[in-house]
Amino acid sequence: MKPRDLTDLALRNLREAILRNALTTLGVAVGVASLVAMLSLGVGLQQLASKRLSQSGLFDTIFVTPKNNFRGVGRRQREVQSDKPTRPLDEETRKELEKLPNVIEVYPQIRFFTEVRFNNKPYATVVAGLPESSRNSGAFDGMQGSFFSSRTADEAILQIEFAKDLSDKPASLLGQEITLRYAERQAIPAAAGDTSGSASSDAPEGFSVVAKELKLKIIGIVETEPAAGYGGYGNARLLMPLETASTLRAAQVNDLRDIVRASTGNKVTFPSFSVRASSPSKVEALEASIKSMGFNAFSLLDASKSLRTFFSVFDLLLGIFGSLALAVATLGIVNTLVMAILERRREIGVLKALGAADVDVQQLFFVEAGVMGLFGGFLGVFFGWALGRAITFGTNVYLKRQALNPIELSSVPWWLIVAGIIFAVLVSLAAGLYPASRAAKLNPVDALRYE
């Protein structure tokens, strides 16, 4: 029979015993729903965890430092011995890194210890520049005030502890001005005709440090520590847009080291770069290619791997528990179709007498099982999604009572919808195997005699 006729006949047969087939389909739907709900919770929790972690920049970020970083003293000795020139982290390097495949952004770490003045009182703190991408990092969810209005705004976000130092009522700081005092690095060009002290005439004599001030408007107060990453300077308490911070040319720790080594020329260099990969899975290859460029690179890849392993096992367990209901539903399909064979025995005999081959009868039962699976799959995915929403809703009501932020506990990605439906159809077809082959093997003479 042609597929259209086969489907037509199968649908007609299903409609005939509508109550029984609807209940069987509902059984499949409940099975799929439990599977989808379980997996949606697994996926949701995984997304929740990896969102927080990846937004924290721990798993998709590679920290790049020059090979001669002061932390690797022993290595530096070897570098010197190998006579290989060390590459500085300057703007040129940043652009080069940005061109690597799977790189979303490369930003320098600008972080310096300095003094700020507020109400004519001096406060010592660490200032850090924040890239625009940290706006969506989740660290600023629930902050007081707002994120920087632009990449180059003269604005500051204070960490709550620092804000408490400035005022008893941190919220009152919003909109006020704070004065940032910093040391600007100004290169001293080499004196003309003096070739005795330096390797080339372009090389600077060093740099001078000039005290400068910049007024920043306090626009936000944050409770988390968004600039707490590792860099060795401690946590920054005053945050400003990265581009604003980089225009300051504030002297950083590496400047002193660079000037002593006189290797960087008259260029601004940075102590480290953060290279963000498009996904944690790309980190490993990216890290290797950065290392091959002659830099130190470091990521928390191993931690990310074990996290993924944990969630894979977690999803597997949820999937197994979710599948139990579907296994029961499978028995329901077998039962329904075996009953249908008994009821339609004579009809099968007539079909065979009219010229239906065994395979036609087999396909008919197969399609009936598949259709129940398909409807059950659609319905089940919807039920599963609804169940996930209900659990999320209930959890958020509870979290709200505990004065905590709401979370997205369940997630039904498109692949789960497709996989849920396909799985339901496949399981139903498997359940239809036995009844279909039994129907096909029915002796037409016996079947026609059956009353």
Partner 1 sequence: MTDQQAAILLEHISRHYSMGETSVRAVDDVSLSVPQGEFLALLGSSGSGKSTLLNLVAGLDRPTSGAIFANGQNLGELSSIELARYRRNTIGMIFQSFNLLPRMTLEENVELPLRLAEVERPERASRVQEALERVRLTHRVGHRPAELSGGEQQRVAISRALVNRPQILLADEPTGNLDSATGEAILRLLRDLREQMGMTVVMVTHEKPLAERFADRLATMADGKLLEITTNTKGAVQ
User: With binding defined as CB under 8 A, does residue 194 bind partner 1?
Assistant: no
Does residue 347 touch partner 1 according to CB under 8 A? Answer: yes
Query: Could you tell me the two tokens for 77?
Result: 């000795």
Residue with tokens 């061109």: 99
Please report how close the Cβ of residue 448 comes to partner 1 at its closest, in angstroms: 7
Local structure of 177: helix, strand or coil: strand
Q: Match 């470091």 to its residue by tokens.
A: 298
Q: Is 115 in the site for partner 1 (CB under 8 A)?
A: no
Among 16, 91, 92, 202, indicate the residue that binds partner 1 (CB under 8 A): 16
Q: Which residues contact 239 (CB under 8 A, 6 or more apart)?
A: 127, 128, 129, 130, 156, 157, 158, 159, 222, 226, 227
Q: Is 11 in the site for partner 1 (CB under 8 A)?
A: no
Residue (211 or 354) nearer to partner 1, CB: 354
Question: Could you tell me which stretch among 175-183, 237-245, 322-330, 346-354 binds partner 1 (CB under 8 A)?
Answer: 346-354
Is residue 48 close enough to count as binding partner 1 by CB under 8 A? no
Rounded least distance, CB 17 to partner 1, Å: 10
At 188, which helix (H) or strand (E)?
strand 177-188
The nearest distance, CB 2 to partner 1, in angstroms, is 5
Of the candidate residues 282, 360, 389, 450, the single one contacting partner 1 (CB under 8 A): 360
Q: Of 44, 41, 21, 38, nearest to 323 (Cα)?
A: 38
Does 223 engage in binding with partner 1 (CB under 8 A)?
no
Q: Edge to edge, what strands does the sheet with 273-277 contain?
A: 103-108, 273-277, 61-66, 295-298
Among 265, 286, 267, smallest CA distance to 277 is for: 286
Which residue stretch of 151-159, 344-352, 366-374, 422-430 sits at the interface with partner 1 (rule: CB under 8 A)?
344-352
Residue closer to partner 1 by CB (options 32, 341) is 341
| Residue 356 lies near partner 1 (rule: CB under 8 A) | yes
Cβ(206)–Cβ(271) under 8 Å? no
Question: What's the CA gap between 40 and 25, in Å, rounded?
Answer: 21
Q: Which is nearer to partner 1, 143 or 350 (CB)?
A: 350
Enumerate binding residues for partner 1 (CB under 8 A). Answer: 1-2, 5, 9, 12, 16, 346-347, 349-360, 443-445, 448
